[in-house]
Chains A and B, each alone.
Chain A
Amino acid sequence: MNQKQALVKMENIQKRFGKVRALKGVDFEVYEQEVVGLLGDNGAGKSTLIKILSGVYRPDKGNIYIQGKKVEINSPEEARELGIETVHQDLSLIEKMSVARNFFLGKEPTKKIGTLEVLDLRKMNRECMSGLKQVGIELRSPTEFVSTLSGGQRQAIAIGRAVYFGAQILILDEPLRNLSIREQRTILNHIQEARKQGSSVIFITHNVHHVCPVADRIVLLENGEKLGEVKAGELTPEEIAECIANGQMIEKAK
């Protein structure tokens, strides 16, 4: 599965907020059609790292390469143009808007009426329903407000949207938080479905049991530094949790 060239390569990434050094030179790679777990305790720098990749923050130092080409990501808009779709925790959908309007936010389809460029609402409603259906989500109506949906449905819509737009790199920040066990199961299926359709997935969590069922590889962060990484099956979830608790890798992993 791991090809020679990484799809994403982040090199010596550093970021500081005032006096706090959130990232102290982190290297991080993602390969084609890979699910990478990014694991670490609260404050380890996971969210900061992926917010740099998704264009929310700019790194103080370090380089980002996509398919070997050096890129600069200055805004979420630019990240999306590079095929990086992010589902931030609690931040991805706007409750006071309809599902269809949310679905196409930032990439709205338009049609021409004379010289006027207007939203293609019919297309938005239709494609939103069929796009979500592809990832196994069925909604009653695309004009429903997001606020009427459950947490699991919202998460599923956010992921479905990212897959619909053909994300090369799909970043999920704590996608299982506050979900019921059945909803968690469904989201994990969506993640596998996304990989099958050609996406690479970065799965951020602080809960090792969330990520172990789907990850091909797990990268451990601690205090803004990379602690190490584990291939699927090399360590048990309990051993990985132990690494995080102790702040050092178990030797047999290497």
Chain B
Amino acid sequence: MLTMKTQETTSAEEAALSKWNLRDLRKIPEFGALVAFLALFIFFAIFAPRFFSLRNITSLLTITAELGIMTVGISFLMVSGEIDLSVSGVYAMAGFIFVTLANIFTFPLGSLVALVVALLISISIGFINSRVVLRGGIPSFIATLGMMMFLRGILLGITGGRSISYAGDSLVPSLLTGIMAYRFRPSHFWFIALVVIFSFILNRTVFGNRVFATGGKRQAAYTMGVNVNRVKTACFMISAALAGLSGAIAISRFNLANVSFGQGMELEAIAAAVIGGTLMTGGYGSIIGAAFGAGIMGMVRTGLVMTGVPSYWYNAFVGVILVIAAIVNLKLRSAVLGE
């Protein structure tokens, strides 16, 4: 019973590298998101005349990048078995801090210092989230819901609801999201770079292996010698850092920080992560899938308008796609995991 017959004579290495038969294709967690992305792309290219144009593709990328950077962080955290509802709060908070400080720091590289401070504060918020969850022993859903409300409340309290215009130097805005040739923006490339880096970290490093283990079965990971609390703390900080960066990018694009900025975006990011094949329960997920998930959201947003449907319908579409994607991903996963 214990010794399984070797059905194929492939060596261990070949088995690991031969990804090209259909069964193995399903082993790739982002498979579902990739198919859905292509299907939607073809759909919009047919029904929205100007959808498949450079101008639209770049504006789609701009939306996707800002949501996608946040989604990468939250997917990473979800794989470790936690959730972060405060990402949109961190997004707005980081944006405000960045604008406020950049306006004050008139010395050379002032905006860069402002960005660094905003990111450090974001990371600290992630660290506080991790302490509340791990020391306080409460679910991250509650802890980060509290943090989200707290951050929004502070912003509203301090600003009294007033917006702040960006008046700092143009260094960081042009580094993050200044318009380049053919309306590409640096944020597109930051996004792609971050997807590559975090996908690499998750799949090819010791830390990534332990993130999967911690989210897959915390107690088993612990008994195998994994410091699960340290892993989760790092993931909370990654999630907050990327949310903060995303906020700084968006605010650089609008040149304006507003209190209601990014409201509800945490749910969009979670939806994008789930569409990308990441499990709410942890231990399974994909950063590349997250990128395609965010891409699907961006595509629906621009595509719907171009097919002539009022943008009010956006949420309805996303809701349907989310549920279908979750079901399809579940089926794909059961086939692979044999559950």
Residue positions of A touching B, CB distance < 8 A: 54, 56, 75-77, 79-80, 86, 88, 91-97, 100-101, 104-108, 110, 117-119, 121-122, 125-126, 128-129, 136-143, 145, 147-148, 150, 152-153, 156, 180, 182-183, 186
Contact = CB atoms under 8 A, between A and B. Distances in A.
Given A125-B12, A125-B13, A147-B339, A77 B1 contact: no
Contacts of B7: 140
A86 B206 CA distance: 21
Given A125-B15, A126-B12, A138 B6 contact: yes
Contacts of B52: none
B220 A145 contact: no
B336 interface: yes
Given A150-B1, A183-B2, 15 more contacts: A75-B225, A92-B224, A94-B216, A105-B209, A105-B224, A105-B226, A117-B206, A119-B208, A139-B4, A142-B12, A142-B15, A143-B15, A143-B16, A148-B337, A152-B2
Contacts of A104: 209
A75 B1 CA distance: 35
A77 B283 contact: no
A111 to B, nearest CB: 10
B21 interface: no
A126 B279 CA distance: 29
Contact of A95 (B15, B210, B216, B226): B216
A101 B6 CA distance: 20
A121 B208 CA distance: 13
A121 B6 CA distance: 21
Interface residues of B, number: 41
B311 interface: no
Interface in B240-280: 279
A93 B283 contact: no
Contact of A119 (B8, B205, B226): B205
A104 B339 CA distance: 23
Contacts of A183: 1-2
Given A105-B210, A110-B206, A122 B3 contact: no
B338 A148 contact: yes
B283 A96 contact: yes
Interface string B119-160: 000000000000000000000000000000000000000000
Interface of B: 1-8, 10, 12-13, 15-16, 27, 200, 204-206, 208-210, 212-213, 216-217, 219-227, 279, 283-284, 336-339
A54 to B, nearest CB: 7
Given A76-B222, A106-B225, A119 B3 contact: no
Nearest to B284: A96
B270 to A, nearest CB: 19
A139 B2 CA distance: 9
B337 A145 contact: yes
25 contacts: A76-B223, A80-B224, A94-B212, A96-B217, A96-B283, A96-B284, A97-B212, A97-B283, A105-B226, A108-B209, A117-B206, A118-B200, A119-B208, A125-B13, A125-B16, A138-B4, A139-B4, A140-B6, A140-B15, A141-B16, A142-B15, A143-B27, A152-B2, A182-B1, A183-B2
B15 to A, nearest CB: 4
B224 A76 contact: yes
Contacts of A126: 12-13
B246 to A, nearest CB: 25
Nearest to B338: A148
B84 to A, nearest CB: 21
Contacts of B204: 118-119, 121
B18 to A, nearest CB: 10
A101 B226 CA distance: 13
A121 to B, nearest CB: 7
Contacts of A93: 217, 220
B233 to A, nearest CB: 16
A95 to B, nearest CB: 7
Contacts of B209: 101, 104-105, 108, 119
B9 to A, nearest CB: 11
A13 B4 CA distance: 43
A124 B208 CA distance: 15
A108 B203 CA distance: 13
Nearest to B220: A91
Given A94-B221, A105-B210, A125-B12, A147 B338 contact: yes
Contacts of B221: 94, 105-106
A125 to B, nearest CB: 4
A197 B236 CA distance: 43
Contact of B12 (A91, A92, A129, A182): A129
Nearest to B281: A96
Contact of A76 (B12, B225, B337): B225
